[in-house]
Structure 1
Amino acid sequence: MATATTVFDYLISLPRGTLHALYADPWTCQAIFRDLHGLAKQYVVRLMFVSTPMSLSSLLNWVKPDEISQHKDCLEKLIALHVCEEVSQPQGHIPSKNPDGNRFILLNKTFQMKFNDTIASANQESWLKPLEPTVDQKKIEKELQEYSQRCFDAILNSMLNPKETKSLHPSIQRLVLQTGLMEEAKNSLHITSKGFQFLLWDTYTQIWTLLLAYLSTTENQRDALSLIFQLSFLKMGQHYSTNHLSPSHLRIIQDLSLFGLIYQRRENNRTEKSFYPTRLAIALSSTQSAAHNGNTHTHTSSSEGYIMIEQNYRMYAYTNSPLQIAVLKQFVKITYKLPNMVMGMISRESVRDALRHGITANQMIGYMRQHAHPEMLKNFPVVPETVADQIRLWETERSRIKYEKGIYYEKFPSPAAQANMVEYAKQLGVLLWSSDAGFFAKESDLLKEYIKKVSKA
């Protein structure tokens, strides 16, 4: 099975029974509905109060002619998620020549019931109980922001500095190995080509990559998913009681705190245990929707844009963060460091170094766009065209020559024999190049036997 790259991919990979159990939680239903494409949401709402099976061909009446492709994608997604399920043909149905006229669907009964309860209830209460605030709202929000940033930066820093991997929690070490972001060599962990690419992804894609790996290994997938989905509906700066949670949920909260999604603060004047969701946790599900619909380079509130790029390839980064500077070094040659700024050049050599590590031109350009300074965001395009085009040209330089392993054949018995051999190599699909003097072909036992046969004739 292919590795899941989004939460939708992961949900689709789950057994039907597991999804049915997940849909028994109304918060999961809400989170999935929120992340669906707009057209898919329309189908769910319209099918909410339909009790008789509907043919796929009849759904076409709801769609504009130029949206047929999107219609098919949305239906396939709903069926794959078991939000909609295919059912048997109703009695009295006359077979149709159109295959879609013989396929019928209904909304998943569990999803339909729980989602109906959700939209019918004006004030649905979470099973995570909020507590009375004990500290200033602005103070705790700042504390939460710093905590989540510190936790996640520690993971990224350890990838760039192998000496720091020992300070990582063993669970995080297992995840970066499992996802192929790092590999073990000579009793230490080293970043891989995939790891270099990971550094340039937006924060929420990075978190989901690690979370999906965590979900695939945890024994409590259903509890973990329902908790993650419900976190996205909680309030920033509000703390919630853990006294009534099950041991399974308590373990998951401990695990999520390693990613910076949960903050467990010591309250001096309170005996009841509690936790705070960070901004990363609250925005996690809704940001997944943006990524799912193609917007993978969204700005996050956790990091202000800091990169300025000039048309002469000079870069100014207004930051003193060792992590941000280390990431920039992957494709920028840093020339000067000041207390609150670094300066550098995007050169052919620095870009080629990044390409050798598996980082693509689009990822470099996307990273600069994602972290562009507010002044840069006023420009269109954000990254100067001369810079973006040149980075792509440097990337294409690496593909001008293609290396193929093969055998060169020459000194044929006759021109006719050579022509027959070349033609046979073409038919086998192994011919790479030919001229009057000889030809070059991939290694093939069939071709070798044919050449021997023709040479002896």
Structure 2
Amino acid sequence: MSSSNLFKATVNEYLEGLPKTVQSKLYEAPATCLSIYRLLSPMAKFFIMSMIFNEKPVALRDLDKWCMPSARKLEYEALKQLESLHLIEYDSKASHIRLHSTFRQNFRDCLTGSQDPTAFGSISTTVDKHQVDVAFLDSFASSKWETILHFMVGTESTATPSNSVLSLLRLGGLMEGPGRGASNLKITNTGFQFLLQDVNAQIWTLLLQYLNLTQELNMDPVDVLNFIFVLGSLELGKSYAVSSLSETQVSMLADLKDYGLVYRRTDTSSRFYPTRLATTLTSDSSALKTPAMAVEQALDSVEGGTDNEVSQTAPPGNIQGTVIIETNFKLYAYTNSPLEIAILNLFVHLRTRFANMVCGQITRESIRNALYNGITADQIIRFLETHAHPQMKVLAKEKLDKKIEFDTSHNINTAGGAPQSQALRADGSVAQHKLEILPPNVVDQIKLWQLELDRIQTFDGYLFKDFPNQQEFDKLSSYASELGVLIWSDKIKRKFFVTKDGMSQVADFANRKLKSRGQ
């Protein structure tokens, strides 16, 4: 799963686990409706936008016509997601669906600008004597968040986070230790995985633990969630009036300030400022825009930039776009930050450290140590791809273009630097081309080292067997494969195994299609 979708899956999983009554209350807030829409998959968004202005229920057979047969899996996952969030409602015969009425009305108001003027916060009308700009907010948020990460990896001379942060680290299983003192806390296997996550995923990890504490703190979980979603819709650099917040939301400001999500000069200030960590809670944008990111963007537009240029211009304190990996598993990273070096040390055998660069080697032993700490091969690969040097991305794009040129027909389906392209071969088959930022042999070897430890995998699911004829078996197994729920199949013995979640969908298809054909 890509880093941009990791935090969305985490939040959606939490929302899907809420009772239907709580979900319905959430949909009473327009800002929450907009934020939840942003967290949905593209196919689920398509279904919502297709029904938002339609007063009548939509037949399920029409949904099948809206999607190509190759997108059957995406259709199934989208409907499952919408059903889990109770965003869609089925009629008595389960042949038609419609959007949740409250969600439909409030989300439509957001699209047409008919919502309450204070639905997305009340901008403060008075002038702030103390100047607060975007640069200050970015610096404040970065300082708060890096304090938490430095504390987790045990960086010397690091300030101790607040007690509320420490309690969330304990509750989330990111750190553990005897007593309540901060000095006794040690990072856990889950904490190691946390360090390699996208910043948005890290923030949501703590926020979801904060939501789990709402009952102990006598806070309304709906009120808390609504305020978090409102923060994701506010404008960076603007100040908002505290007077428009509920009592629960005002009490949250102190905790959110400790996480770097909001800035409030004093506990009695009449205004607060959302930081970039807050305004990107439900978006795919980077949570923090540091000077190093600006340098990386500039380097992306200059092909042929040298490594020396990077070492001179890239400031310390951000690992974004500074990692180079060679086919011989050697790794170079332009950084002098103790935090970044500590994160790399989780899966790299570091050998040399210079003023602005560290060198190391990815070895079987270093990857195994990471695997023993609960870090997966996919997390390591995703981290290296995310923080790859701009020149590695340029070279990968050049290789991808050369591969596509070998296809006789150039019906290329690519948009905005998408990681995959399609080309139509002369025989009519579709060639899939993937943007390989990292050396393929390095990626494959990291996965093989994990397979050495994961020799046996178990799956929960259901076995389909005793088919009366081969045609019925082929029809049903093909449908399960299109949905992406097929784990194992034996065509000779007419048996196949599907996931636990996919069983109901395959069974419904069998009842609808196969039985109707026999009548």
Task: Using structure 1 for the length normalisation, give the TM-score.
Answer: 0.74
Superposed counterparts of 1:48-447, under 5 Å: 48-89=52-93, 102-121=94-113, 125-127=117-119, 128-131=121-124, 134=128, 140-161=133-154, 167-185=160-178, 188-218=184-214, 219-265=219-265, 273-287=270-284, 301-302=289-290, 303=318, 304-380=320-396, 381-399=436-454
Q: Distance in 1 between matches of 2:195 and 2:266?
A: 32
2:90 alignment partner, SS class:
strand
How far off its partner does 1:164 sit?
A: 7.9
How far off its partner does 1:338 sit?
A: 2.4
Q: Distance in 1 between matches of 2:454 and 2:46?
A: 45
Q: Distance in 2 between matches of 1:143 and 1:215?
A: 28
Q: Distance in 2 between matches of 1:321 and 1:213?
A: 28
Residue by residue over 1:216-261, the C-alpha shift from the partner in whole angstroms, topping out at 9 and shown as x without a partner, is 2212211121112122222111121213322211112222222211
Change (3 A) 1:299 1:305: farther
Q: Distance in 2 between matches of 1:359 and 1:233?
A: 33
How far off its partner does 1:360 sit?
A: 2.1
Q: Is the radius of gyration larger for structure 1 or structure 2? A: 1
What percentage of aligned pairs have identical amino acids?
38
Q: Distance in 1 between matches of 2:91 and 2:158?
A: 51
Residue by residue over 1:176-219, the C-alpha shift from the partner in whole angstroms, topping out at 9 and shown as x without a partner, is 22222122247722211111111111111111111111112212
How far off its partner does 1:174 sit?
A: 1.9
Mapped contact 2:147–2:159 kept (Cα < 8 A): no
Unaligned 5+ residue runs, structure 2? 1-7, 291-317, 397-435, 458-519
Superposed counterparts of 1:15-34, under 5 Å: 15-34=19-38
Report the residue type matching 2:263 in the other structure.
Y
Residue by residue over 1:249-291, the C-alpha shift from the partner in whole angstroms, topping out at 9 and shown as x without a partner, is 1112222222211111369xxx96211111111111013xx9x
How far off its partner does 1:377 sit?
A: 2.3
Unaligned 5+ residue runs, structure 1? 90-101, 291-297, 403-457
Question: How many pairs are equivalent?
Answer: 374
Q: Distance in 2 between matches of 1:64 and 1:397?
A: 39
Report the residue type matching 1:189 in the other structure.
L
Residue by residue over 1:395-420, the C-alpha shift from the partner in whole angstroms, topping out at 9 and shown as x without a partner, is 33445799xxxxxxxxxxxxxxxxxx
How far off its partner does 1:7 sit?
A: 1.5
Mapped contact 1:159–1:165 kept (Cα < 8 A): no
Change (3 A) 1:173 1:196: same
- Residue matched to 2:405: none
Q: Distance in 1 between matches of 2:371 and 2:67?
A: 43
Change (3 A) 1:136 1:123: farther
Mapped contact 1:253–1:262 kept (Cα < 8 A): yes
Mapped contact 1:180–1:192 kept (Cα < 8 A): yes
2:282 alignment partner, SS class:
helix
Task: Using structure 2 for the length normalisation, give the TM-score.
Answer: 0.65
- Residue matched to 2:13: 9
Report the residue type matching 1:148 in the other structure.
A
